């Protein structure tokens, strides 16, 4: 296995070498809680295969990704979310820290105020 994938924290989660609470799993994606949640129910969706970012991910996975986003949203709506934001930090300049493609799902409550910072120290 390439060293990059061997050491990648999200590959380890996908391989179930690091325990994570699986919120939802499809054939090619896995959703689990962000270890440092910015809102209640903050969830990450990752492809099981290693791609550095969304741009590197094959288009063919697009439908399944949207389906997975909707499944996670449905779960969080059932738990009381009123809405959600999707954030995708792509590239170091945009605040991407973990170089394995991932989508942030940030459940939101009415009247709850959060900031969407744009710098790498305070990225979502």
Q: Looking up tokens 């969304």, which residue turns up?
A: 54
Q: How far apart are the first and last CA of the chain?
A: 30
For residues 50 and 76, which CB has a smaller minimum distance to Zn ion in the complex?
A: 50
Q: How far is CA 119 from CA 25, 26, 65, 107, in A?
A: 31, 32, 26, 21
Residue 36 contacts which entry, ligand AMP, Zn ion, none (Cβ below 5-8 A, type-dependent): ligand AMP
- Is residue 115 a contact point for ligand AMP (CB under 6 A)? no
**Is 50 in the active site?**
no
Q: Which of residues 5-24 bind ligand AMP (CB under 6 A)?
A: 9, 20
Residue window 61-80: x/- pattern of binding to ligand AMP, with contact defined by CB under 6 A: --------------------
Residue 11 contacts which entry, ligand AMP, Zn ion, none (Cβ below 5-8 A, type-dependent): Zn ion
Ranges of beta strands (E only) in 50-123 are 83-87, 103-108
What φ, ψ does residue 87 adopt, rounded to 5°?
-125, 135
- Is residue 97 a contact point for ligand AMP (CB under 6 A)? yes
Alpha helices for 1-124 (secondary structure H): 3-7, 9-14, 62-78
Which sequence positions are flagged as catalytic? 102
- Which spans of this chain sit near ligand AMP (rule: CB under 6 A)? 9, 20, 34-36, 44, 89, 95-98, 123
């Amino acid at each position: 296995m390439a060293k990059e994938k061997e050491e990648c924290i999200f590959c380890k989660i996908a391989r179930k070498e690091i325990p994570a609470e699986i919120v939802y799993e499809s054939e090619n994606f896995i959703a689990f809680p962000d270890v440092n949640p910015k809102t209640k129910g903050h969830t990450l969706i990752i492809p099981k295969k290693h791609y550095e970012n969304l741009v590197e991910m094959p288009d063919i996975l697009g439908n399944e990704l949207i389906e997975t986003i909707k499944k996670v949203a449905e779960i969080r709506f059932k738990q009381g979310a009123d809405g959600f934001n999707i954030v995708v930090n792509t590239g170091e300049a945009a605040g991407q820290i973990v170089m394995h493609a991932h989508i942030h799902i940030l459940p939101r409550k009415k009247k709850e105020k959060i900031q969407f910072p744009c710098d790498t120290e305070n990225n979502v």
